Amino acid sequence: MKTAVETIFVGRDRAYNERFLQMCGHYLVDPVACTPASGWEKG
């Protein structure tokens, strides 16, 4: 989701949008980033 990530660093490190992190905290979700263009990681 492009709107949830503000900055992409090396590997799976991401700087997430503050509102996205608030939503994740509310629903007890831990965001995990997949490598771009790697379809086998998403399923």
Q: Where exactly are the structural domains of the chain? A: 2-41
For β-strands 5-8 and 14-16, DSSP reports them as antiparallel
- Tens of pLDDT, residues 1-43: 678 889 888 877 899 999 999 999 999 999 988 777 777 776 6
HEC profile of 1-43: CHHHEEEECCCCCEEECHHHHHHHHHCCCCCCCCCCCCHHHCC
What pTM value is reported for the model? 0.70
- Which token pair is 15? 């700087």
